Amino acid sequence: MTTIETTHTTNGVIGQRLLRKEDPALLTGEARYTNDLQIPGALHLAVLRSPYAHAKILRVDLSRALEMPGVRAAYSGADLADLWAAPMPCAWPVTDDMKNPVHYPLATSTACYVGDGVACVLAETDAIARDALEAIEVDYEPLRAVVGLEDALSDEVVIHPDLGTNKSYTWNLLVEETEGAVEAAFASATYTVAERYVQQRLLPMAMETRAVAAVPQPFGGDITLYSSTQVPHILKVMTAITLGIPEHQVRVVAPAVGGGFGSKLNVYAEELLCVALSRKIGLPVRWNEERSENSMATIHGRGQIQNIELAADAEGKLTAVRVRLLADMGAYLQLVTPGIPILGAFLYAGVYHIPKAYDFSCTAAFTNLTPTDAYRGAGRPEATYAIERAMDALAREVGVDPLEIRRRNFIPTEAYPYEAFSGLTYDSGDHDLAATKAAEMIDYDGLRARQAEVNVPGSTKRLGIGVSTYFEMCGLAPSRVLASLNYGAGGWEAATVRVLPTNKVQVVTGTSPHGQGHETSWSMIVADKLGVDPADVHVLHSDTAISPLGLDTYGSRSLPVGGVAVAMACDKVIDKAKQIAAHQLEAAVEDLTFEDGSFSVQGSPDRALPLAAIAFAAFTAHNLPDGLEPNLEAQVSYDPPNFSWPFGTHMCAVEVDLETGKVDLITYVAVDDCGVQINPLIVDGQVHGGVVQGIAQALYEEAVYDVDGNLTTSTLAEYLVPAASDVPSIITGHTVTPSPTNQLGVKGVGEAGTIGAAPAVINAVVDALKEFGVTDVPMPASPLTVWNTLNNARANHSSGGTS
C-alpha cells in the first residue's frame, strides 16, 4: 500500500470546533426544503397505492376521479407504459445470474407490496389530488402474500412468475489458505459457537419525508428536477437513462434536505413520474410524501437472518468464521438493494485477526414487502452486530471477560497496514488503545465490581455491561475494486477550487450534504491549505448545473473522498499561483515557499507576494508567464487508492427491571477513531446521532408486518423513533490514528455510531440476564420481549436443573 504523508495544519484551522456556516439559514426558517419551493402553476401528483401486498390488478377505472373539479389528469400504470425507456434502475447486480424483476414507476399487472403505486392523479392542489385517489376504482384479485424469508425460499408462491423463483441471488466469499481450511478449523477447534440473529426491518424515518418537483421548459427542452435526495448526480444520470432524455438537458437540484440516512440514496418512482408527467403535459409537477406513505414507499433498512459460527483455539483465538445470511430484498430491487448485505460481507471477522479460513454466503430473496436498501451503515451494522454478539458468546464458552476475548483477538497495531484474509488492506488502527480508553472512560472495572455487588437474589434489577468494537469501512474505492464487486458506478469524487479576483474562494464539490456540515468542513480544509479565513470560502453543491461532476453523499464517503479532493484541488491552485508568483518575483518556482497565504523566496523573506495579489494578477492576466492560462482555479477528480477504515470501541451499562422487562440505558461511552478530525464539533454530532440510531434498533424500532403483508407501524405514533427522554447523553471520546492513504489523514465518521451501538446495547442486556441462562434477546429489546425472554429462560433453566 502506498502511504501518503499528512500535510495539513499550516495555520491551525483543522481541528477547531468551528461553528457551522449552515446554521443561520436553518435556524431562522430561511432554508428551503423541496416542499418549501414556490413553483407557480405546478400541478400536484398523488399516487394511489395498493392496499394488498400481492394482488393482480384486473381493472383501473379513473373516470370518477377525472370528473372531480381541480383534477387535470389521471393515469393507470398501463396508461404510462410508453413513457419509460428503461425500467427503474438497480445499479448493483452482485452476481451474473442475479434475478432482477422488471420494475416500473407504476405497477401494470400485479401489485407486489402494500404501497406499490398502481395509478396517479394530477390536480391543482395536493388536497384535491389526494381526495381524487379515493374516487379511483381498482379491481384487485388478491394473491397470497409472501411475508417471511423461509416462505419466500420455498417458492410455494412465486412473486415474479417470469423469474421462476423468489431467490434473487446467492453470493459467496470463501477464503481458504488451503482447500478445506474452514472445515478443518472447525474440526480441530477447542471452542466453537453457533449463533442465529435476526436483523429486524427498520424504517429510516428522515424527519423530512421525500418531496419532488419537476419544472420543464416545454419549448427549450430542458428540465429541472428538484428532489429531496442524497444523490443529485446519480439521479441525473438515471433520469436520463430511464426516461430516454438527453442527459445534458437534465438538471437535478437537491435543495435543503432534511436527513437521509441512506433512504434518499435512490431513484424513486415519484421522481421519474414527476419528470415524465411534467414533460408530457408541459407544466411543473410536484409531489410531497406523507409520513404514513413514507413508511411504505421509501425503502426500508436491514431485514436479514444471520447464522454465524466461530471456531477458536484453546486461548479463544479465532481460527475460522462461517456465515450464512438470508437477506430480504422486498418486492423489487431498488438502486443498490442487492449490494447491501455484500457491503457487510468482509466484516464478519470484525477487528480481529483470523487466518485465511472465512466462509461467507448470502442468499437474497424477494418478499411482498417494501424494498430494502441502504440505511445508515448498510450491511456493516448487521455484520458488526453478528460478530460482536458472537464474540460475547465465545467469551462465555472460554470463560473470560468479553473485553479480554476481544483483546486476545485484536489485529495488532504493529501489523498495520494490515492485509486481511479477504485481500483488502486495512489502512491504520489501534484497537487496544480505543478499547482501553473506552474502558477508562466508563470505569469498566468499577462497573464489573458494582455488578457483582448489586446483581444479587432479592434485587429486582440487574446491571449489565456491553462492549462492542468495530470497523466502519467507508469511502468505497478505488473504482476498479468496485468493478470487481459488480457495482455499477465508481468511487471517485470531484472538486473545483476557484480563487476569485478579490481573494474570496469558491469551492464546488460533488458531495451532497444533508446535515453533515460540508460547507463548514470544506471551508476549513481550504482555509488551512490556502491560508484564508474560512468565512471567505463559499461551498457550492447539490445542483448539477453548478457542480456537474460528482458521486454524492452516502456510505461515510464525503470527507475521505470528497474532502480530500478539495485539498488536492487547493494543491493544484497553489501550484499554478506559484508559477505566477515566481514570474512576478523573478525567482525560480523551486525557490518559492507558500505559507500563511503568501509566497516568498527562500532565504529572502522580503521578496514575497500574498495569494490575494496573485489572484488579482491571474484575473487581469496582464503579466502572466508565457503559456499560462488566466484565472486561478483547479479541478480534481480523485479516485482513492483504498477504502478507509475508521474503528472504535463502544461500551454501555444497562439496568434491566426483572419485573417489567424494561431496559434502562444508564451510561453510554463511544470512543471513535476517524483519523484526523477536521471539525471535532461535527464529528461528535455525527457520533451522537449515529449511536442513537443504533440504540433505536436495539431497543425501540421495528417495522412490523402482519401475515398479509400489512405494515402495522406506518406512522410515528406506532413506529417508535426515540425521543429525547428515551435516550441518555452520549459520552464521546476519540483516539486519532491518521489514515496513511490521504494527505489529510482523514477517515469517514457518518455511520460509525450506528455500527457500534446495537451490539453494545444488546450485549449489555444479555450480560444483565446471564445468571438466568439468557444468551440472546431479540431486537428490539422492548419490555415485553425482554420479559418473555427472561421467563422462557427461567422456565428452561429450572426444568433443566431438575431433570
Q: Which residues of this protein are in contact with other proteins, per CB under 8 A?
A: 19-20, 22-33, 35-36, 38, 127, 205-209, 256-259, 261, 290-292, 514-517, 681-682, 684-685, 688-693, 715-717, 721, 723-725, 727, 729-730, 753
DSSP string, 432-486: HHHHHHHHHHHTHHHHHHHHHHH--TT-SEEEEEEEEEEE--BS---HHHHHHTT
Minimal distance, residue 729 CB to ligand FES, in Å = 16
Q: How far apart are CA 370 and CA 116, in angstroms?
A: 8
> What gap in Å lies between CA 455 and CA 109, rounded to an integer?
60
The CB-of-553 to other proteins minimum distance in angstroms stands at: 12
Using the structure block, give the residue that is written with the C-alpha cell 398479509: 708
Q: State the DSSP H helix or E strand holding residue 637, giving kind and residue range, or none if neither.
A: strand 632-638
Q: Nearest approach, Cβ of 413 to ligand FES (angstroms)?
A: 36
Of 541, 551, 530, 550, the closest CA to residue 487 belongs to 551
Q: To the nearest whole angstrom, how small is the minimum distance from the Cβ of residue 204 to ligand FES? A: 12
Site string for ligand FES, 19-38 (x = CB under 6 A): --------------------
Would you give the binding string for ligand FES spanning residues 153-192, x where CB under 6 A is met?
----------------------------------------
Smallest separation, CB 295 to other proteins (Å) = 10
Side chain identity, residue 716: L
Q: Minimal distance in Å, beta carbon 158 to other proteins?
A: 35
Q: How far is the CB of 700 from ligand FES (least distance, A)?
A: 16
- 255 or 475: whose CB is closer to other proteins? 255
- The nearer residue to ligand FES, 208 or 528, going by C-beta atoms, is 208
Q: At closest approach, how far in Å is the CB of 532 from other proteins?
A: 22
Task: Count residues binding ligand FES (CB under 6 A).
Answer: 4
Q: Is the dihedral of CA 310, 314, 317, 320 positive or negative?
A: negative
Out of ligand FES, other proteins, none, what residue 394 binds, judged by CB under 5 to 8 A for its kind, is: none
Residue number with the shortest CB distance to ligand FES?
A: 207
594 near 605, Cβ under 8 Å? no
- Cβ(391)–Cβ(404) under 8 Å? no
Are the CB atoms for 603 and 596 separated by under 8 Å?
A: no
Judged by beta carbon, residue 130 or residue 324, the one nearer other proteins is 130
**Cβ 416 to ligand FES shortest distance, Å:** 35
Q: At what angle do helices 380-398 and 402-409 cross, to 10 degrees?
A: 110
Rounded CA gap, 141 and 152, in Å? 20
Shorter beta-carbon distance to other proteins: residue 521 or 789: 521
State how far the Cα of 264 lies from the Cα of 259, in Å rounded to an integer: 8
The binder of 715, among ligand FES, other proteins, none, by C-beta within 5 to 8 A per type, is other proteins
26 binds, among other proteins, ligand FES, none (CB under 5 to 8 A by kind): other proteins
Least Å distance between CB 90 and ligand FES? Answer: 29
Judged by beta carbon, residue 2 or residue 729, the one nearer ligand FES is: 729
- If the CB atoms of residues 552 and 633 are measured against other proteins, the closer one turns out to be 552
> Could you tell which of other proteins, ligand FES, none binds residue 52, using a CB distance below 5 to 8 A set by kind?
none
Rounded CA separation 374/263 (Å): 6
Please identify, using beta-carbon distances, which residue of 116 and 751 lies nearer to ligand FES.
751
Name which of 548 and 680 has its Cβ closer to other proteins: 680
Q: Which residues pair with 47 in a beta bridge?
A: 120
Where in 247-276 is the site for ligand FES (CB under 6 A)?
Answer: 258-259
Dihedral sign for Cα 33, 36, 39, 42, please: positive
C-beta of residue 707 within 8 angstroms of C-beta of residue 114: no
CB closer to ligand FES out of 259 and 722: 259
The secondary structure of 27-84 as a DSSP string is: HTT-S-BGGG---TTPEEEEEEE-SSSSEEEEEEE-HHHHHSTTEEEEEETGGGGGG-
Query: Out of other proteins, ligand FES, none, which partner does residue 778 contact, by CB within 5 to 8 A per kind?
Result: none
Name which of 233 and 518 has its Cβ closer to other proteins.
518
Task: Pick what 441 binds: other proteins, ligand FES, none; C-beta below 5 to 8 Å, kind-dependent.
Answer: none
Which residue's C-alpha cell is 448539477? 544
Among 371, 515, 531, 646, binds ligand FES (CB under 6 A): 515
Binding at 130: pick from other proteins, ligand FES, none (beta carbon under 5-8 Å per type): none
207 binds ligand FES (CB under 6 A): yes
8 Å CB contact between 326 and 149: yes
Could you give the CA distance from residue 386 to residue 379 in angstroms, rounded to a whole number?
Answer: 11
Return the amino acid letter for 519. Answer: E
Q: Which residue from 303, 306, 339 is spatially nearest to 322, judged by alpha carbons?
A: 306
Among other proteins, ligand FES, none, residue 725 binds (CB under 5-8 Å by kind): other proteins
Q: How many helices (H) and strands (E) does the chain have?
A: 20, 28
Query: Which of 572, 597, 570, 594 is CA-nearest to residue 582?
Result: 594
Q: Cβ 682 to other proteins, closest distance in Å?
A: 7
**Is 17 or 56 the residue whose CB approaches ligand FES more closely?**
17
Instruction: State the minimum distance, in angstroms, from the CB of residue 515 to ligand FES.
Output: 5
Q: For the purposes of burial, counting CB atoms within 10 Å of the CB of 462, is it exposed (0-12), middle (13-18) or buried (19 or more)? A: buried
Mapping DSSP onto H, E and C, the string for 230-290 reads CCHHHHHHHHHHHHCCCHHHEEEECCECCCCCCCCCCCCHHHHHHHHHHHHHCCCEEEECC
Q: What share of the chain is helix, strand, coil (3-state, %, to 5)?
A: 35, 25, 40
Q: What is the closest distance, in whole angstroms, from the C-beta atom of residue 19 to other proteins in the complex?
A: 6
Nearer to ligand FES, 715 or 792 (CB): 715
Minimum distance of ligand FES from residue 340's CB (angstroms): 23
- CB-nearer residue toward ligand FES: 314 or 723: 723
304 contact, one of ligand FES, other proteins, none, CB 5-8 Å limit per kind: none
- Cβ-based nearer residue to other proteins, 36 or 419: 36
* Residues of the shown chain interacting with ligand FES in the complex, contacts defined by CB under 6 A: 207, 258-259, 515
